[in-house]
Chain A
Amino acid sequence: MVRSLAPFFAFAAAYLAAALFVTNSYYQLIMTLVLVWACFGLSWNMLSGYTGLVSFGHAAFFGLGAFATVLAQVYWGVSPWIMLAVSALLGALAGVLIGLPTFRLRGHYFALSMLAYPLAMLYVFQWLGYPEVTVPRVFDRPWLYMQFDDGRVYTVIALAMLAAVVAISRRVERTRFGMALIAIKQNEAAAEAAGIDTFAWKLRAIALSGAIAGAVGSFYAVVILVITPQSVFGMLVSAQALTVTMFGGTGTVWGPIIGAAFLIPIAEVLHAELGSYLPGIQGVVYGLAIIGLIVLAPEGMYWKARDFLRARRSAEAPAAEAAAAAPPASPAAARTISDEVVLDVRNVSKRFGGLKAVGRVSFQVRRGMILGIIGPNGAGKTTLFNLLNGFLAPDTGEVVFRGENLVGQKPNRVCRAGIGRTFQIMRPFKRMSVHDNVKVGAYVRAASEAEAEALATHAVAAVGLDAIAQRPAGGLTTKELRLLELARALAGQPELLLLDETLAGLGSQEAAEVVGVIRRLAGEGVTVVIIEHTMQAMVQLVDRFLVLDHGEVIMEGAPQAVTRDSRVIEAYLGKKWVANA
């Protein structure tokens, strides 16, 4: 923790030293504003950078903090020192109130509805009769009201605030909080399936984010003296958070700091130096600069610089990791399948309008077995999985896992109960290491960070990725990604593993390797249900087949029996092949 903050403290010390030498009060103000917007960018990053849910409405929290602080001093004489904390609470509360309805929306819908909150508040405050409010000047002991003649004091306060926000962000990044948010960003469904209560974590994120924005808004009002609804709730305020963060780099504490340190002084200097000759030119130059940067470094300066440095470093030491670890080709342990029924699916059906996706499917899975669910495309295999792990609720039927009916439970609850799952489409967090990707799945079982670490290490080893555990997931092959997904599901120590087309897109050699890993896991006592539509590799793998067609079970039995069954051949190849079989 302390070590990870060392670069920040170096930056803070240098910034402070520079600030002490600035005597021009305007440039002093800019030095404070850089820090204010950096904090605000970090607040945005807390929600949008980590979870990927883009908020166009962070001005809502900012403005509430600003207005609360000024109005509290105007009407009740409350000091901004107190209002700084109160504004944080207000921001958190607003975050929860906004999050509760808005998190039902996704993608662009979420972004657009976030836009509405500050705009609505803008008009509310205008309507309330506050077209412009000013911080009342205090003559008696002004420091009690955060009023100082020397602008450098504000820079110091802002720096302290930034340090606090950076420390909070780093802490979040390194704990299950941040991991949960990052998991939501890569794939919300997968995160749910990995046992993460996504709604609860998103609410926590927006509350924390709102709290930071509220406090920043409060401080901003004190520094800037005069606020209007437009200046704290306006579009430009929300955009400021996005701009500094995206310019610097999202999903890292350095992004907003870099962005603010570049953009704010450039904008202000352009405004001051060019504004009086060619009014409005600063906006044009500023806009062009942003367009240029986004074209050149779409993920932000921080990531661009990091990638550049990494590329240089790895060029110096070529092929250090060239030998990607092949999973240990251990012979499959002799497995014993117990008689205990782990999963009992009874008469499960699901319709989508007129389409019967799954109809009256029943089957049982016994401890230690590998069950293959096969069927042609559109047979209802993935829908069945979604019914099993809670993404969909069945219209009828029961899903009984170790004696408990799971119907109606959310995916994260199902995961907690002991059912892990992988997905057909892999979405790893590309910049995180293999190990950290897997660690996300461990939190569902781990009580502490140390335990999560241990579970992740164990799961990575179990799938044979330990040699490349520290490599970023962005450079992995399809096979490695499949194993990564598997490891992530394993890290939660499930009793039952649902694998969705884990072999898809693999060559026969690769498929054989993955099959080897799955068999080994089963040998260690994990019960596996696997979906696949190619039968070849499956025949080597599974103990039993369940064949689906048009949403119904057409056959269940041992691999050899199934491959010879005429109904299965018909379903796969058509009627005329039945005779030839």
Chain B
Amino acid sequence: MTLPKRLLLAGTALAAAGLAAAPAAAQSKPEPIQIGLIAPVSGIYARPGTVMRMGAEMGVEDVNKAGGIACLGNAPLELAVVDSGDSVEKATNAAQRMVADYPKLVGATGAYLSSFTLAVSEVTERANLPLLTLSYSDLITGRGFKNIFQTSATSGAQAEIALPIILDLAEKQTGKRPQTVAVITDNTAASLSSVKRMKDGLLADVGLKLVSEEVFTPPLTDATSLVQQIRRGRPDLLFFLPTVISDSKLILEKMQEFRLRVPTVSFGIAIAEPEVLNTVDPKLLEGVMSAVANWGAKGQEELIQRLKDRYGEPWMTQNAISTYGDMWVFKAALEKSCSRDRAALGKALRSLDGGEAKFYPGGTIAFDEAGHRKGASLTIIQWQNGVPVTVFPEALALSQAKWPTP
């Protein structure tokens, strides 16, 4: 190509750019900043993924209402939703599509299930795209990745925090400290992380003896053998780690059918999803507790009400509140990086000091080297009168905890 021709082309390009920019400038509307949400909106995990989208939409709306990203000329955030599907393979594939089809993404949040997040982050890490996640498998932040930021306490950490609280509560309210425990867990990454930490000394530390451990692959078709194993072990306490709602329903119903009445503590939100009410009698759930990474809590009443009004959700789960909070984390980091570049955003997130966390339990909006949120704690929820409410920590509790006496 000869020089004059090239000049001519460059000139044309400039002119075109000027033309395109002119009306935008006239309306003084900066181009939105794209944030990805990669979550299952189809398949067996579609429900929690949809709730994440509600949280993200409300978050984007509130950030934009508050003026968007001031540093970038009040550019608004814009959400790009990518369906991660309901399997690890689909999630990997979706991540590949996300990084290919949305070159302007500066960051993303996702992908609900830890197994999906592990897969998705393999792709986003290689694409240098910062990924916030509410998933809490220890593996997620155990790979030396630079672009993953875990807002929840890890499974292992959650178990460490939750177990003493639960045992103290039992002793305080029943006068007797549980001695034996049975575990039913599915084989998803987050559940396995929790169980691994328990077996690696945590149970021994709190003086619990493991009498049986049952691992299953979701979705479950029959829970009879699982429940019979529990019955045989006669534990004082049952730790229950399902991820799929239908699995928790099957197991709880089978327990009732076998008249197996044992105080049940769950880990994760599968037993507290609003959808549970469609299939499970709330009486079956009354008193069941669950250790969850995050939950709608004291001080967020206005937000919870908006979620109810707008989407008809009966309460605010971790998926809604954490993803809502993520948008504020992006805002803080974007103000700091003051750039539409994803690498700059990653750098800003790594060195962020966003003060006390408002939308996650405990700690601050700052991340350590591996991507753990500093000081992350958890919430414990309990089914009371047909609604799962936050009962711990006390500062966030909407109700008092009651030890489930079967």
Interface positions of A (Cβ within 8 A of B)? 24-29, 126, 129, 131-132, 134-137, 149, 224-226, 228, 230-231, 268, 271-272, 275-276, 279-280
A132–B126 Cα distance when bound, in Å, is 18
A132–B93 Cα distance when bound, in Å, is 15
- Chain A residue contacts of B93, Cβ below 8 A: 268, 271
Shortest distance from the beta carbon of A497 to any chain B beta carbon, whole Å:
57
A271–B90 Cα distance when bound, in Å, is 10
- Chain B residue contacts of A275, Cβ below 8 A: 42, 83, 85
Shortest distance from the beta carbon of A226 to any chain B beta carbon, whole Å:
4
Chain B 135-174 residues near chain A, CB threshold 8 A: 143, 145
- Chain A residue contacts of B188, Cβ below 8 A: 131
Closest partner residue, chain B, to A123 (CB atom): B217
- Chain A residue contacts of B99, Cβ below 8 A: 25-26
Binds A, one of B59-67, B117-125, B391-399: B117-125
A226 with B92: CB separation less than 8 A: yes
Shortest distance from the beta carbon of B186 to any chain A beta carbon, whole Å:
9
Closest partner residue, chain A, to B40 (CB atom): A279
A226 with B118: CB separation less than 8 A: yes
Interface positions of B (Cβ within 8 A of A)? 41-43, 46, 81-83, 85, 87-89, 92-93, 96-97, 99-101, 115, 118-119, 122-123, 125-127, 143, 145, 187-189, 192, 217
- Chain A residue contacts of B217, Cβ below 8 A: 126
Shortest distance from the beta carbon of A123 to any chain B beta carbon, whole Å:
8
Q: A231-B87, A275-B83 are in contact. Are A137 and B126 (CB under 8 A)?
A: yes
A129–B87 Cα distance when bound, in Å, is 18
20 A-B contacts (beta carbon < 8 Å): A24-B100, A25-B96, A26-B97, A29-B96, A131-B188, A131-B189, A132-B88, A225-B123, A225-B126, A226-B118, A228-B87, A228-B88, A271-B93, A276-B41, A279-B42, A279-B46, A279-B83, A279-B85, A280-B42, A280-B43
Closest partner residue, chain B, to A276 (CB atom): B83
B119 with A226: CB separation less than 8 A: yes
Interface hub of A136, A225, A226, A279 (most chain B Cβ within 10 A): A226
B192 with A131: CB separation less than 8 A: yes
B122 with A134: CB separation less than 8 A: yes
Q: 8 tightest CB-CB pairs across the interface, nearest first?
A: A279-B42, A26-B100, A226-B119, A25-B100, A231-B89, A225-B122, A228-B88, A26-B97
Closest partner residue, chain A, to B87 (CB atom): A230
Closest partner residue, chain A, to B99 (CB atom): A25
B122 with A226: CB separation less than 8 A: yes
B115 with A135: CB separation less than 8 A: no
Closest partner residue, chain A, to B144 (CB atom): A137
Using A225-B122, A226-B122 as known contacts, list a sample of 5 further A-B pairs with CB atoms less than 8 Å apart, ordered by residue number in A: A28-B100, A131-B189, A137-B125, A137-B126, A279-B46
Closest partner residue, chain A, to B42 (CB atom): A279
Shortest distance from the beta carbon of B203 to any chain A beta carbon, whole Å:
19
Shortest distance from the beta carbon of B251 to any chain A beta carbon, whole Å:
19
- Chain B residue contacts of A132, Cβ below 8 A: 88, 115, 118-119, 189
B118 with A24: CB separation less than 8 A: no
A126–B83 Cα distance when bound, in Å, is 26
Closest partner residue, chain A, to B97 (CB atom): A26
Shortest distance from the beta carbon of B402 to any chain A beta carbon, whole Å:
35
- Chain B residue contacts of A228, Cβ below 8 A: 87-89, 115
- Chain A residue contacts of B192, Cβ below 8 A: 129, 131
A24 with B125: CB separation less than 8 A: no
Closest partner residue, chain A, to B43 (CB atom): A279
- Chain A residue contacts of B115, Cβ below 8 A: 131-132, 228
Q: A132-B189, A134-B119 are in contact. Are A26 and B101 (CB under 8 A)?
A: yes
A279 with B41: CB separation less than 8 A: yes
A131–B42 Cα distance when bound, in Å, is 21
A505–B118 Cα distance when bound, in Å, is 68
A131–B187 Cα distance when bound, in Å, is 7
A272–B97 Cα distance when bound, in Å, is 8
- Chain A residue contacts of B118, Cβ below 8 A: 132, 134, 226
A137–B42 Cα distance when bound, in Å, is 30
- Chain B residue contacts of A280, Cβ below 8 A: 42-43
Interface hub of B81, B88, B145, B217 (most chain A Cβ within 10 A): B88
A129–B196 Cα distance when bound, in Å, is 11
A280–B126 Cα distance when bound, in Å, is 28
Contact of B89 among A129, A149, A230 (CB under 8 A): A230
- Chain B residue contacts of A137, Cβ below 8 A: 122, 125-126, 143, 145
Shortest distance from the beta carbon of B196 to any chain A beta carbon, whole Å:
9
A319–B246 Cα distance when bound, in Å, is 68
- Chain B residue contacts of A276, Cβ below 8 A: 41, 81-83
B100 with A135: CB separation less than 8 A: no
A552–B101 Cα distance when bound, in Å, is 80
Shortest distance from the beta carbon of B371 to any chain A beta carbon, whole Å:
15
A225–B126 Cα distance when bound, in Å, is 10
B126 with A27: CB separation less than 8 A: no
Closest partner residue, chain B, to A278 (CB atom): B42
Interface hub of B82, B97, B145 (most chain A Cβ within 10 A): B97
Shortest distance from the beta carbon of B367 to any chain A beta carbon, whole Å:
19
Shortest distance from the beta carbon of B238 to any chain A beta carbon, whole Å:
22
- Chain A residue contacts of B92, Cβ below 8 A: 224-226
Contact of A231 among B43, B83, B88, B127 (CB under 8 A): B88
- Chain A residue contacts of B126, Cβ below 8 A: 137, 149, 225
Closest partner residue, chain A, to B88 (CB atom): A228
A219–B184 Cα distance when bound, in Å, is 36
Interface hub of B42, B93, B101 (most chain A Cβ within 10 A): B93
Closest partner residue, chain B, to A133 (CB atom): B118
- Chain B residue contacts of A225, Cβ below 8 A: 92, 119, 122-123, 126
A149–B125 Cα distance when bound, in Å, is 12
Closest partner residue, chain B, to A271 (CB atom): B93
Closest partner residue, chain A, to B82 (CB atom): A276
A231–B115 Cα distance when bound, in Å, is 13
A136–B145 Cα distance when bound, in Å, is 10
Interface hub of B81, B87, B100, B126 (most chain A Cβ within 10 A): B100
- Chain A residue contacts of B100, Cβ below 8 A: 24-29
A230–B86 Cα distance when bound, in Å, is 12
Shortest distance from the beta carbon of B189 to any chain A beta carbon, whole Å:
6
- Chain A residue contacts of B43, Cβ below 8 A: 279-280
- Chain B residue contacts of A231, Cβ below 8 A: 87-89
A228–B189 Cα distance when bound, in Å, is 11
Shortest distance from the beta carbon of B338 to any chain A beta carbon, whole Å:
27
A266–B43 Cα distance when bound, in Å, is 21
Shortest distance from the beta carbon of A138 to any chain B beta carbon, whole Å:
11
Contact of B96 among A26, A131, A149, A230 (CB under 8 A): A26
- Chain A residue contacts of B101, Cβ below 8 A: 24, 26, 272
- Chain A residue contacts of B96, Cβ below 8 A: 25-26, 29
A546–B89 Cα distance when bound, in Å, is 68
- Chain B residue contacts of A134, Cβ below 8 A: 118-119, 122, 143
A214–B97 Cα distance when bound, in Å, is 27
Shortest distance from the beta carbon of A232 to any chain B beta carbon, whole Å:
9
A280–B92 Cα distance when bound, in Å, is 17
A96–B43 Cα distance when bound, in Å, is 39
- Chain B residue contacts of A226, Cβ below 8 A: 88-89, 92, 118-119, 122
A279–B41 Cα distance when bound, in Å, is 8
A129–B185 Cα distance when bound, in Å, is 13
A231–B88 Cα distance when bound, in Å, is 8
A228–B188 Cα distance when bound, in Å, is 11
- Chain A residue contacts of B187, Cβ below 8 A: 126, 131
Shortest distance from the beta carbon of A531 to any chain B beta carbon, whole Å:
56
- Chain A residue contacts of B97, Cβ below 8 A: 26, 272
- Chain A residue contacts of B143, Cβ below 8 A: 134, 136-137
- Chain B residue contacts of A135, Cβ below 8 A: 122
Shortest distance from the beta carbon of A442 to any chain B beta carbon, whole Å:
48
A126–B217 Cα distance when bound, in Å, is 9
A224–B96 Cα distance when bound, in Å, is 9
Closest partner residue, chain B, to A122 (CB atom): B217
- Chain A residue contacts of B83, Cβ below 8 A: 275-276, 279
A136–B126 Cα distance when bound, in Å, is 11
A134–B100 Cα distance when bound, in Å, is 20
